Structure 1
Amino acid sequence: MLIKEYRIGLPMSVEEYRIAQLYMIQKKSREESQGAGSGVEIIVNEPYKDGPGGSGQYTYKIYHIGNHLPGWFRAILPKSALRVEEEAWNAYPYTKTRYRCPFIEKFLLEIETKYLNDGGEETNIFNLKDAADQQRVVDYLDIVKDPIPSNDYKREEDPKIFVSQKTGRGPLTESWREEYSKANRDPDKKHSCIMTAYKLCRVEFRYWGMQNKIERFIHDIGLRKTMLRAHRQAWCWQDEWHGLRSVISADLNSKHREH
């Protein structure tokens, strides 16, 4: 098992990020539900108590990913390989998500997240006691400085360029995290807020001869690359989600009831 803790900062509050997150889930769900053999099936959506993070909302979903694969590849794979099962415990600002694929029995991806209004200074936010967990790799993601593949680049999603029409925030400099972290510690400058998503990611792919390579690939491409792009979007899409808290919540609740 390869364990990494990603720390992703954004110049906004934890409460603002919650709105951005709901909006992005809604938007991406619509995009992924297009085409045959695609979409998200919500099997369970119910509150829980005394679970991960205390009390929150539990969901069990099945992602049908057929339309994301070439036709010839889909033809040789069993149906169980075209679906990913997701269990999620949402007790925001704490969440836990677990992914499995029935076709790959020895695969597990688990993401435990805590959101704090800070600059990522916490040393052991998950209270890790196991020796293997404590040897985790800590990786800071920077939405401004970290490079992204050229085919993923969009000018309108570049924090170095983006300026919000609704909030007036941006563009961000390469030293934004240090600047906002310093301002966040100053009681007279609390408007310069910063939050960090601490994500403890465990990846296990227990197949001899492939384990290390596949686990690194999942971390580098499936997780780090995806999270970096998503958080760049969370910042640069703020004119779309700013002030939409009640609308988004009502729409999501309606969709859950339909399932």
Structure 2
Amino acid sequence: MLIKEYRIPLPLTVSEYKIAQLYMIAKKSRDESKGAGSGVEIMVNEPYTDGPGPNGTGQYTRKIYHIGSHLPGWLKSLMPKSALIVEEEAWNAYPYTKTKYKCPFVERFTLEIETYYFNDDGSQENVFNLSRSELRERAVDVIDIVKDETADCVPEEDPRCFRSEKTGRGPLEDNWIQEYWRECKGSDVPLSSGKALMCAYKLCKVEFKYWGMQTKIEHFIDDV
């Protein structure tokens, strides 16, 4: 099993991020519903009272993603229908969430993501209460939204250029995390200046139980 923890500092409060998260979930579902062989089915959407999260309560959803539109036609024609869907289970107990992905065609594959959101700079070392053996296996990757450029970055969404008229945040400099934390540490956010800092801690566990391919596939998924 591959264990990787991503830490993503963001110029938001945990409360603000909750709104952004709901928006992006809706946007992603809409985007996934375009084109033939695509779409999202919501199979279950209900509260839970005995599940993951600090209090064991939250909202449970189960979705089916149809991914045929993301594959070349020649490849899609060779694959069974069970290979063209991904099942998602999610437990939302914000500021904690847990999501699990699996593909019926690849029964021994699972991708599990746990997330905690804190108003800090990403310096907490074990928010998931991992065991000693898990800590030895875990790799940590801090993602800086300014320094770690993405190929599909839209200019008007570039944090190095964008300034929020509502909050006054941005554009962000290379040392923005240290600068924001120096001002925000120990204070209620957002500050009167509008600044805020939070971190999304994401623990990813990838398991691909096929002899001879496990390590290679798990690291390939991590790279993607």
Q: TM-score, normalised by structure 1?
A: 0.81
Letter matched to residue 56 of structure 1 = G
- Partner Cα distance (1:165, 1:190) in 2: 15
- The secondary structure found in structure 2 opposite 1:25 is helix
Q: Which position in structure 2 is the counterpart of 1:155? A: 155
- The secondary structure found in structure 1 opposite 2:82 is helix
Q: Which position in structure 1 is the counterpart of 2:40? A: 40
Q: Provide the aligned length of Structure 1 versus Structure 2.
A: 219
Structure 1: which 5+ runs fail to align? 222-259
**Mapping of 1:181-220 within 5 angstroms?**
181-187=181-187, 191=191, 192-220=195-223
- The secondary structure found in structure 2 opposite 1:131 is helix
In the alignment, is the contact (CA less than 8 A) between 1:128 and 1:134 conserved in 2? no
- Partner Cα distance (2:189, 2:93) in 1: 29
Shift, 1:134, TM fit? 4.4
Aligned partner of 2:122 among 107, 115, 120: 120
- Partner Cα distance (1:190, 1:36) in 2: 44
Higher helix proportion (structure 1 or 2): 1
Letter matched to residue 60 of structure 1 = R
Cα gap change, 1:92/1:134 in structure 2, threshold over 3 Å: closer, same or farther? Answer: farther
Q: TM-score, normalised by structure 2?
A: 0.93
Letter matched to residue 123 of structure 2 = E
Shift, 1:207, TM fit? 1.9
Letter matched to residue 24 of structure 2 = M
- The secondary structure found in structure 1 opposite 2:49 is strand
Hey, which bits of structure 1, 4+ residues long, moved more than 6 A?
none
* Greater Cα offset, 87-96 or 19-28: 19-28
* 1:139-170 deviation line (CA, Å, top 9, x unaligned): 10000001323xx2321221101122333321
Cα gap change, 1:163/1:66 in structure 2, threshold over 3 Å: closer, same or farther? Answer: same
RMSD across aligned C-alpha pairs, in angstroms?
A: 1.5
Identity value in percent = 65
Shift, 1:209, TM fit? 2.5
- Partner Cα distance (2:23, 2:159) in 1: 19
Shift, 1:186, TM fit? 5.0
Q: Which position in structure 2 is the counterpart of 1:60? A: 62
- Partner Cα distance (2:223, 2:73) in 1: 26
Q: Which position in structure 1 is the counterpart of 2:16? A: 16
- The secondary structure found in structure 2 opposite 1:99 is strand
